[in-house]
Amino acid sequence: MAPMKILAIPHAAGLALLLCVPAAHGQQAAGGAGSLEFAARITPTAGRPEPVRQFTFYLLRKSYADIAREAEKQDPLPTREQFIDGLSLSAPLKTWMKARGTMDLTSPEAQQGLTADDIVNIPEFLDAYLRANSGGATASLPRPKYSKADKTANPERYRKLHDDYIAALRRFIAANTHTTGGMEEFLDAVNPARPWNQLNAEHRRKMRRRLPEIAQTKYLAAKADTDLEGHAYVSGLPAGTYWLSTLGLEVSSGDLRLRWDVPFTIEPGKTARIELTNLNAAEENPSAP
């Protein structure tokens, strides 16, 4: 089905009449076509309904949400697990992140959930804990009794003293949970939350650029601009199911930012009527494409 050309002509009732002229020969005859008449209004909180004036709406043969899902399948983000697997972090930390379902090591939730076992078994946490408590800040903190030289010269002694130190440190942390405070400052350098959020933000921006082009190239049936009263009329539509969409663009009024993706059906020789309001709109979501 080829896109239709829109021509504006005056309407006796003051409604902006948009006439759809078939763009290709062999298209369904006007007698078997239908029409769409719609009005768009937005009501801000504690405000009065306002017409959506001189705004372009698009008639699509597929839901804009489904178009977005189709594009996501063709160009998907890595899953959280895939992203974690690609990080230059220790295996214990990657396992911990997957089990906890967290990406932000410095968040209060992540810090509150830390146990003594987590800290002594995960190199990044142990390093952050020791740095946060270094310089005599925690006087009774256990100290290692081995040296780096022992690791080569006397590996058995090194192993025993190391295990004793870790056991003592574990007991100390469990008995002094307040000493975990300040670790987040030293985890910032290895925290994957920032690159993960940047990756998601860049993907959303890319999708916001691509989706309108995909929708208009592959699924556009017609488009119409509302008049000063928020009305528009489209004729010459072959029978079928369509979606009246803002292509992800939001309409603003007061504290609201809305977008529409509303299905409707055209029957031969009949006019479908739609009222676009807050009730059938989606509130703008910054994380959505």
How far is Cα 187 from Cα 194, in angstroms, rounded to an integer?
12
Mean pLDDT of 200-215: 94
Question: What pLDDT digit, counting tens, does each position of 58-97 carry?
Answer: 999 999 999 999 999 999 999 999 999 999 999 999 999 9
Mean pLDDT of 145-174: 90
Q: What is the pLDDT of residue 18?
A: 38
pLDDT of 186 > 70? The answer is: yes
How far is Cα 71 from Cα 182, in angstroms, rounded to an integer?
43
Name the percent of the chain lying above pLDDT 70.
Answer: 87
In this prediction, residue 31 has a pLDDT band, given cuts at 50, 70 and 90, of: low
In this prediction, residue 285 has a pLDDT band, given cuts at 50, 70 and 90, of: low
Q: What is the pLDDT of residue 21?
A: 36
pLDDT of 19 > 60? The answer is: no
233 forms beta bridges with 17, 37
How far is Cα 237 from Cα 194, in angstroms, rounded to an integer?
48
Tokens 């925290």 belong to 191
Return all residues near 5 (Cβ < 8 A) that are at least 6 apart.
20, 21, 23
Mean pLDDT value across the chain: 86
Nearest to 251 by CA among 43, 65, 67: 43
10, 12, 16, 22: CA torsion to nearest 10: -70
Q: What is the pLDDT of residue 137?
A: 63
Q: What is the pLDDT of residue 139?
A: 75
What angle is formed at CA 118 by the lines to CA 116 and CA 124, rounded to 5 degrees?
A: 115
Name the percent of the chain lying above pLDDT 90.
Answer: 70
Q: What is the pLDDT of residue 254?
A: 87
Query: Distance between terminal CA atoms of the chain?
Result: 26
Question: What pLDDT digit, counting tens, does each position of 240-272 carry?
Answer: 999 999 999 999 988 889 999 999 999 999 999
How far is Cα 28 from Cα 26, in angstroms, rounded to an integer?
7
How far is Cα 40 from Cα 279, in angstroms, rounded to an integer?
11
Q: What is the pLDDT of residue 161?
A: 92
Backbone dihedral region of 195: left (phi > 0), alpha (psi from -120 to 50 degrees) or beta?
alpha
Q: What is the pLDDT of residue 25?
A: 31
User: Strand order of the sheet with strand 251-253?
Assistant: 251-253, 256-259, 282-283
Q: What is the pLDDT of residue 287?
A: 47
Q: For 142-146, which contacts have Cβ atoms below 8 Å and span 24 or more sequence positions?
A: 142/168, 142/169, 142/172
Q: Which two tokens stand for residue 244?
A: 């009246």
- Domains, the chain, in order of start with CATH, read 5-75+216-283 (2.60.40.10), 88-191 (no CATH)
Q: Which amino acid is at 166?
A: I
How far is Cα 249 from Cα 284, in angstroms, rounded to an integer?
9
The DSSP result for 81-115, as a single string, is HHHHHTSSS-HHHHHHHHHHT---TTSHHHHHT--
pLDDT of 199 > 60? The answer is: yes
How large is the C-alpha radius of gyration of the chain?
31
Question: What pLDDT digit, counting tens, does each position of 113-158 carry?
Answer: 899 999 999 999 999 999 999 876 677 899 989 888 888 888 899 9
